[in-house]
Structure 1
Amino acid sequence: MLHSKEKENKFQTLFETMNLGVSYQDHKGKIINVNPAALKILGLTLNQMEGKTSIDPSWKCIHEDGSDFPGETHPSMIALKTGIPVLNKIMGVFNITKKKYCWIKIDAIPQFKEGEKKPFQVYTTFDDITIIKETEIQLKENERRYIGAQKMGKVGNWEYNIKTGLLWGSNETLRIFGLNPEKNNFSLDYIEKNIPKLNFVRQAMINLIEKGEKYDIQYEINVQKKIKIVHSKAKIIYNINGEIFKIAGVIQDISKKYKNKLELKESEDKFFKVFKNSSNSIILSRLSNFEIININKATFKVTGYTTKELKGLKMFEIGIWKSKKDYKKYVKQILKKGRVKGFETTFLKKSGESRIWKISGEVIQIKKEKFTLTIIEDVTEIRNAEIELNKQRNFTSAMTENQPAGIVACNAKGKLVLFNKAAKEWHGIDVMTFPKERWAENYGLYKSDGKTLLKADEIPILQSFLGKKIVNFEMVIKAKNQKPRYVICNSAPFYDSLGNKLGALAVMNDITHQKSIEESLKKSQEEIKKALLELERSEFLLNESGRIAKVGAWEFNIITQKLRWSNQVFKIHKIPIGEVPPIEEAINYYIDGSAEILEKAINNSIKNNKKYDLELRFQNALKEKLWVNAIGYPILNKKNEVIGIRGVIQDITENKLIREKIEKTQEMHSLLANNTNDLICLQEPDSTFKYISPSIKNLLGYEQSEFIGKQVFSIVHKDDVLPLRKVMKDKIFNNNSAEAYPFRALHKNGHFVWLEFLSSPVHKDGEINYFVTSARDITQWVLAKEEIQEYQTSLQKLTTEITMVEEKQKKQIASNIHDHLSQSLVISKMKILELKENPNLTVIDEDLKFIEAHISDALENSRKITYELSPTILYQLGVIEAINWLIEDLQAKYKIKFKFSTNLTNINLSELNSIILYRSIQEILTNAIKYANASLVKIEIKKTNKGVDLFIIDNGIGFDTSILNNFKNQSGSGFGLFTVTERIKTIQGQFSITSKINSGTNIKIFIPLLK
């Protein structure tokens, strides 16, 4: 047992060295003793504490919520008053030395003298929990800021417990999936029902758990019948035993970012579809040196130069400019004004052919480099057509019958002299002898209301007869047994070259269909207005919900001038997570004038309690230049005074670049569409126009607005409607056909224009979204083609007649040789034989033999000539036997091997067709012998259901078949084969030839048989 003195010493040592603060207070609450730990915790000296009570206001005690802690309720005072210990009370006490509050946990225990009920003193211990308390406060603050940042940045958290199978999601996660955070009905079943491609997500989770693969995926979710695109990352959380405890992840709505990428790709696809399909040449070259970077397919057709020949050359090196002066003028305009439109002059194709081209060019910027986009339109045919058009204007009156518009004319006396086909049909009458006073009644002419008959002086053609020009007069034609027809009438007087009145002309266009559409549009006007308002609201909500990804939260306290950042803000600045720089230094990260803009916005927010939302230029610590979205909200106290600002900063560099690319691509697309004379359209799969280029005005006379939302068939010639529908039904468009399709379209002035169009589909999600269509005016080309066809028909007839005359002459010559020369030679030979038998002439026996030999040769040659001129076997036994004889003759004469096979004994052809076919085969075989150096020629004749196929194949040296398409340059075998082609056409046959140098020649002839 220790003596009392030893106990007292040990107690004193413990009292002075323990970490807990200890104080003793007498029965009045005055402090009578404290240990060193208490002085250190409270930042006071012994003199400052002795004699003070817990009621003293200088302690500045506070509760955990920051409210005052009255001295009367101090644990030591309560323990003295009640005699009951007061334990685990937390209190904030102001530390004068550290000039801040420290937090302590107090236990107050009353002490009694033996036999007394009231305590004579109180023994109080307290532990310094400041660090724990500050950490707790910081955690709560971080949680509050984290939740706020999640809400602003649209980023949610989720956790999946492997053992329990329970799924937890943060409030933002619930919002992403369309759930109300207050109800919190987030579950695994709900999530799986709303993920269309669930197997993909499940497999990613399996790969994470079983293989340790990275879980970083994008997938679709179905939220309230709308599809969202989300981006999710996750990692495995292990327990202390190293076992998988749960999966923790984040999820983010990236729908807007995904949509931006799709729009960029679609815009680029649209531009390159137009670039590819344009019938005009398009050349992209550098502005600095005019080096050609890229060209489209049409450039080869227009210039004759291939992509390989042009790429890398300078514009002036091509040699297409006939005049260097014109080239310099064009370059000067491009460099000075940045664009050239409709520069027209004479150019040279690669072949040397002169053509008239119209060039339009504009300087564009791609990334940081400037280029010129040059569009070349070959207008040679157009200019030639304009010349030809002037010659044909006297024949235009003959075309009125074919116009879909109603045309009526009167002569100089006011008498009706013309009712075209459409006018007769519309009025239901073709009588032109009614008096003027009865025209409205008999021809069914009403005002636009369809009820009031026109007066005589209101009828357009009568007004024009009196010298007045009528423009777009709307009226109704109500013929018997026909529905009312709404028409737009234009009329004018016309005069001869001396100014004498010749009469008046009225042209009426049927607008019944347009009227019907107009009425429908009026009825739906209110619905459209409502839809537009709803669209604006939806667009606003979409824009507000799109502030996602790379978002950091921050807060600025005006009183303390301190700035707080989340970890993401440090990442955006590319500086280590830790100490936040002063606000002045933080603002210096903003460049190019953005710092001044931000300072002004912050000051305005503080002064006027205003939110700001800015897109600013930013340079991080690694000198990387970014675009950021800076948003700030004022923080108010209970008196609505601004005491700080909190907000978010988001890296939007990628979205900004995507928007700029979209704008640039759209600008380039507009440049192409607005500068070409071709018609460029975007059409729905049912041919409804959703866009049409301004060139519709020059090409067909219509405004763009007249066709948006309508189908093409309303202006297609009635004879072309069914073929055009069939083309679309057969999915020529869908197969991306490169073959242009021609049809006739109605010009607004009433005449028809031939158009040729190409169409390519644009796909979205594996399906056709719309078509990009380009069309050009080929009217003059069609007219020229018709003239060529007429000429070719005449030429074929002439060829047939020439062939007949030639064969008759050959037959006549052969007959004369056979009947006269051959007979004379036979008689002469017989006479020589007779003389040889005469013994008196033995002296000249050698001479007679010499003469006999030459007569025999002459007789043999006359027979061959007769056969070659007119082979009797052809007329007697037919083509097959004649070919057999020809082959045997050629084989014997030229020592070339022939192989002939057929399943026919004869070909049922007329005499003329037999001659033409035989001569064609003779010409082909002769060519093979003379020019091909062939050692083997194969001939095969087969009968088919439609006719006869004839194949001729040789193993000769071959030749370039392109010479067959250039008549001017043909010589030798080329001219002979060209003649064969024309001969075969005259008998409705088909001729085709393929050949390669050193690979022989294959010829196929098809002949239809007589029925």
Structure 2
Amino acid sequence: MTAYTDSLEKPIYTIAKCLNEIIVNNDLNDALQKIVDWLANSLDIDCCYISEDGNKAANLAIFSSERMAENLGDSNNSILHINDFPEILDILHNNLCYKVSRNNRVSQKLHEWLRASNVRSLLLMPVFRGTRFWGCIGFGDAKNNRTWHSSEIQLQSLASAIGSAIESKRIKQEIQQSNEVINTTLSTLNEIIWEVDLVNETTKIAGSSIFIESLKRRSLSNNFIDWVLTSTHEDDKERVSQKFKQFFEEKDASVNEDVFRIYNEKTGEYFWMHSRYHLKRNIYGDPVFLTGTSVDISDTKEVEHEFSRQREQYQFLVQSLGQVVFTLNKNATLSFASPAWKEILGYKPEQSIGKAFIEYLHDEHVQLFWEEFGSLLAGRKTNIDLRMQLVNAANENVWVRILAKTTFDYNNTIDGVFGTIENINSSYNDSLFLQDSNERINTILNNSKEIILTLNLEKNIIASVNDAVGILGYKPEEWIDKSYKSWNDEQRQQFHELMRLAVQSELQVKNQQITFTNKTNTERIPFEFSTSIFYFKNSRYLLCVLRDVRERLKYEENISLISTQLTHLLNNIDDVYAIFNIKTGKYDFVSDNIENLYHCDKQLYFNNTRFWLERIHKEDLPGVEKEVEQIILNKSKGEIFYRIQTSTGERKMVLEKLVVGKDNNGDADKLYIVKSDYTNIENAEQSLMETERKFRFISENLSDFISIHDVDWNFTYASPSIKNILGYEPGEVLGMGGFDLVHPDDLLKTLNDCVQPIVLYKKETQFRYRMLSKDDTFKWVETYAKPVIDSKGEISSIISSTRDVTDQVTSENKLRESEEQYRLLSENSNDIIGIHNLQTEFLYISPSCKQILGYEPSELMGKRPQDIYSSSDASALSVTEPAKAIEEKKERKFLSNIITKSGEEKVLEVWLKPLFKADVLVGLQSASRDVTEREKLLSELENSLAKERELNELREKFVSTASHQFRTPLTVIQSGVEIMDMYLEDLPEAKQAKFQNQFKKIQEEVSRLENLMNDVLVLGRANAVRTPYNPEERSLVDFCTAIIDNKYNASYLPERQILLSITGVEVPVSFDEKLVSHAIENIISNAYKYSSEGNIYLDLIYEPNRVIINIKDTGVGIPEEDIKNLFQPFYRATNTSEIDGTGLGLSIVKEFIEIHGGEIFLNSKLNKGTTVSVILPIA
């Protein structure tokens, strides 16, 4: 070998020698030791070592010279354990060399090591395995302070090369060991691994010796793929061949697998083989290598067949169950659901699989589900039984019972949940209803003031009794389970007798009087006693109800006294009071002052029911009899003016007021009569009659018909000219509603044009509409109406003048129809346009007949419409309508139900127009439009409008009834109480207090009912869309200030004032003064009503597009559960039962604010107060 003397060549040669040693020497540790020896000699250094993983300083090879050995007893001391020096590790980890000598300034610890190790200079080279730090090579010189410049580059290359070489060597050793393990493992399995070189057509096979033996004979000597295809079972060969061909042709295909039967030459039988294979391609995309594995799965196939059979049985069972069988994975995602899933929730199973189960859970049960599901996955529970609600496809809640348990994978690890879902909606709702019913019954029993007693007749004991037994001084437990036969008290003998009667007869005992002595024997208490027999669980029970009637008896005594006083009062006032029994035809009561009015004996009037009729002026008698008959027939009320002549010959004017009373079945029962002497105003009546005669003379000689209506718009007078316009005699419309004759299509507009100006603003108005004439045709009329105002500023009647404008409207309509026909011909090319001769035969028809009727134009030429349309309705109209158009020489428009060529039913809207030539009728022009869909929609719309009209009529009837049926009785009651209060002055003061308290209660209740009726009427108008809305721009600040100063702050103490604050820049706001005033005053009234102390705060907050009105009090507040319902009519908060109110105020406020396009909401805390916020838009 050539000797190297050059300082660079020798290390390079040594490095090459080291690399070669690593490659050729199979013993890595031996090779490393040689390397450190060679490196030390070539570099003339005193120590060298190779250390793997600097953090551990595990030295793989060490060299130390004799010089170091002389100075150090142990050569290992010369090795630097770099894990003790973090600053060195940081440098090496950054792939940098570390050089140091004693002359350098280093840490005290490193300097001590250099001196102790007899090292003057040190070089550490990092070794990386790829990008990961592997270890280092250390070089030390004990003689000189080397700079290492001349050999640093070579050594760094060596370090990199050694790291890669060592790693490669080690990997090859590990691969060799792994291959040995794999071959050993494969030899014990029924599996082979094979590789086919598609270029050289060679095959390598490794694996089970038994399996390989049957394959090697041909597969090693022939093309492997051809052998597979020739050895495959005939039933599988075409499929396998096609799959191989497709796999090789697809450029992107790389992995595939298949199962097929293949022939075993050794056994002479076919066996099932499962093959997985991978195709490798060159850079041109051509197949190069095919590698894969094959497994004998004959045994598995038999198991699979048995499993498939059992699975079919299981699926049949799952399909047949009425319950849902389901599985969830660990994320609670639905992975399987049986068909019953659709029956319960309305979703197909495939729609839900893959979705989270909680998507179908009611929100209230999501947390419970997660808790229980988590317990299953965590192993705290093995199964669960839950009852919860699911939400079905119709967004309805369904109660179900869920039974579930955990499932496990092959490693016995929980991998999900399996279970069933049963629909228990009906039974669960029934149980909830039963539970709620029991709770309600218990609540009723415990809060009842009646003693409710249940006796077990089989055991002769008291089964139950409610808390009301405390009336007698007992507690329920003193009676329950005690024998009622042990009661020997004399006062209970009657109870036993009644009970014995009820038990023996098994009939109900109702409202029997019985007296009980209380526990202390200090009071005898009267009861009303009722019983009923019932059976439960083969036992017979007696239910007894004892009602304390002390207060009722006392009340009846007071009523008797008041009735006596009221009779006395009625007999001593000017007006005559009488009660006539309609069913018996006799008077039940007549006040004594009848003698003053008729100058006759009271008994004469009482016994002769026609006495009063015989005293009526003969001119007035027919009208009076008819009016009374009508009032009784309508079960209503009314007033009648008539003249009478008394027994002494004196003439008087009488105002008689009548009200019909009804029995429990709603039939007319009593007629309540009040007669007043109006003789003193007879002269005024005469004057009025003269004025009326003049009015009638004028109205009867006008072509327009004049009518007078009451405040409910009923006809009270109609001039004779109504017959010329509508065909009615004047008497035929008297009592008829003014809007009953209005065309339904014009009714809403007429109400808006007429009622609002007159009723709300008391102004005259003029409007046009259609009225129904006596011959059932509608005529266009124009009406001018004006309200008549009485001395109190109220409307007493409405007078109107109506003119026939039918001809004018007809001319206007004809002009519009002509314009429509012109547009029809010029714009609607989809319509069927036809020209007919006088025999209605088609001379021309547009091509659109093909689209609508299904006929080509040539098929219809020369034919008549009745020859084409198979519908009998269409055929008839095709004859009659053209005949009318020809006879009248006028246009005709009609709808025709036809059947097309294909048998489809359609509706055509047909226009017919006469065609003239030199004023001679020569034919007809027709235009037919397909309106099938439109007529269908119109039919649906007409049904909806009919229902809406019915609801509006019911609402208006209720409002009218509320106005007239409630106010008069309330007024009579109020007047009666006031009169009785006047007569109390004749009684001693000791007795007056008792009656005054009772009268005060009656007056308060009457006032409350009047307020309720006012609210109902306002709400009725709002709901009927009759509330007027007349906004004007004004200052909201001035408006609120006026309300506060004029109506509240002047009336309340200083500590109960309304404090106004303003935020933002004030701008004018457009609002209806009446509606907003009503709303704000209602809210302020509530604030005072529901707070006993403290000021009320009204804040106005101006924002860019709105103004907020906040009204705050410090009162009782509103329970949170009541807030959402407060704007519903008649709803009151549960904590306000002791405070008067109707429950209508906020509902009306909401209606008025929403008319403005505004909003209202409130915030409240119980016992801390309420803030109501109203938002109005700013234009």
TM-score by length of 1: 0.30
Higher relative contact order by CA 8 Å / sep ≥ 6: 1 or 2?
Answer: 1
TM-score by length of 2: 0.27
Structure of higher CA gyration radius: 2
